[in-house]
Structure 1
């Protein structure tokens, strides 16, 4: 009996070393058949380097790589309207949510920040914007970007500075001003919405789907001046105030991820 036991142990050792012993065969461990709910695992336990079946997971950071707590991640079920799972990131910026149903999902993420007395809901940039099969699972990491183009041609992470210009040239009644010859200068008045130091922006206006102005401007408070081929323009906020040489303006939230500054411009009178 002892000889048979020893031979059996030696046989198991040889087979295991050759890779011929399958996982779970001749094992002392016993499974109770339960599948762990991925949502029961804390964010700090997530390994973002490996895809897990039936789980969407990842990490949210700012452009300096610092984790963002409280970001909202949505796993949107593409087959059923308004059917999704929503989760928030932990202190290490990580999240995970179960997607183990027969449907295709798309992941998106936003953060909310209060800045100069206003609340902004900001879209985050995914490292991969492709939909995925829920049972297969996926990793989707997100970065808070102040500027840059969104996936799918859906605009920019920065805001728009839009203007209407008085087309009449007071020095020449037969001449009308061309809004694409207007140049705007924006000087940050304090830190940007993420606390970083902004840069001076000098750009000529272009036309876009919402009007004329500048696109993809990092959200912040700016001192704004304008000129037309070198001739100073008077500027004011749209819908109120008096014309002046410059105006201090914050972006107005329009909807999630869309923020505008709206101005009125004109050549100085007299």
Structure 2
């Protein structure tokens, strides 16, 4: 390679890098564009949309961000405004982007990170006038169907080592809301079981709306009431135990709880 070509190559790379950086910081400090300029019909060069809560009301302070499908880097991010709308500048000339979002919600002294559900998962370019609306869902499979993940929390089940009840799929757990759920709604009584042995859902109860619950259990084949415990924090068994999901303070167990049970 000649010296001139080498210099031109370096210069071209520097210009591209500078262009990317300028585009990424063209928003305000947190990536936010003036909400007054939002255009719900789309606008070339921007990603726009609205974020709503489980009841369909505007949801402020949700975080929306972009990811590039080629460079695998996160782009700018923006917080939704008081009316739930957002507008985010896109980097030109870098191909396709996808949009994602989440909220951080304080509840019963903990903070929970919950992913938002997009109304459209298709990638887009900056000139397509993309519009992506998001909703906070208490339950349901996440948009990426290739992953076994849900918007609700997960309960891991632990049989007492001295118990002979080895068919945990036949244990029915009752979850009674103890106060409002994380979105402020009243919730409802849930009767749930884990998946069958050999499945990905064995000893797991998935997609439970985040909340505080009074939990009890019964062995369905005989109708026997079992005793339960907070497996990660206590170890003493009771006819009923009050349970909460871990928050972001326990990153590897966030949005999860552990329930122990025994027939002894």
TM range (shorter): 0.7 to 0.9
Per-residue CA deviation, residues 15-40 of structure 1 (Å, 9 max, x unaligned), is xxxxxxxxxxxxxxxxxxxxxx7878
Give the whole-Å Cα distance in 2 for the aligned partners of 1:163 and 1:124.
27
Moved beyond 4 Å, runs of 4+: 37-41, 254-258
What do you get for the CA RMSD once the two structures are aligned?
A: 2.3
Gaps of 5+ in 2: 1-25
Checking the alignment, whether the CA contact within 8 Å between 2:45 and 2:126 is kept in structure 1 is: yes
Report the counterpart of residue 56 of structure 1 in structure 2.
47
Q: State whether structure 2 residue 191 is matched by structure 1 residue 195.
A: no
Q: State whether structure 2 residue 226 is matched by structure 1 residue 237.
A: no
Report the counterpart of residue 252 of structure 1 in structure 2.
246
Report the counterpart of residue 109 of structure 2 in structure 1.
117
Per-residue CA deviation, residues 51-105 of structure 1 (Å, 9 max, x unaligned), is 2111101000112221111110001122223331111111111111111412211
Greater Cα offset, 192-201 or 203-212: 203-212
Q: State whether structure 2 residue 90 is matched by structure 1 residue 104.
A: no
Checking the alignment, whether the CA contact within 8 Å between 1:60 and 1:94 is kept in structure 2 is: yes
TM-score by length of 1: 0.77
Checking the alignment, whether the CA contact within 8 Å between 1:168 and 1:177 is kept in structure 2 is: no
Per-residue CA deviation, residues 105-129 of structure 1 (Å, 9 max, x unaligned), is 1100111111111110111111011
Q: How many residues align?
A: 226
Give the whole-Å Cα distance in 1 for the aligned partners of 2:82 and 2:154.
32
Alignment CA distance shift 1:257-1:93 (3 Å) = farther
Give the whole-Å Cα distance in 2 for the aligned partners of 1:176 and 1:64.
40
Determine helix, strand or coil for the equivalent of 2:120.
coil
Q: State whether structure 2 residue 215 is matched by structure 1 residue 224.
A: yes
Alignment CA distance shift 1:257-1:142 (3 Å) = farther
Q: Which has the larger radius of gyration?
A: 1
Give the whole-Å Cα distance in 2 for the aligned partners of 1:263 and 1:127.
34
Determine helix, strand or coil for the equivalent of 1:44.
helix
C-alpha deviation, 1:210, in angstroms: 6.9
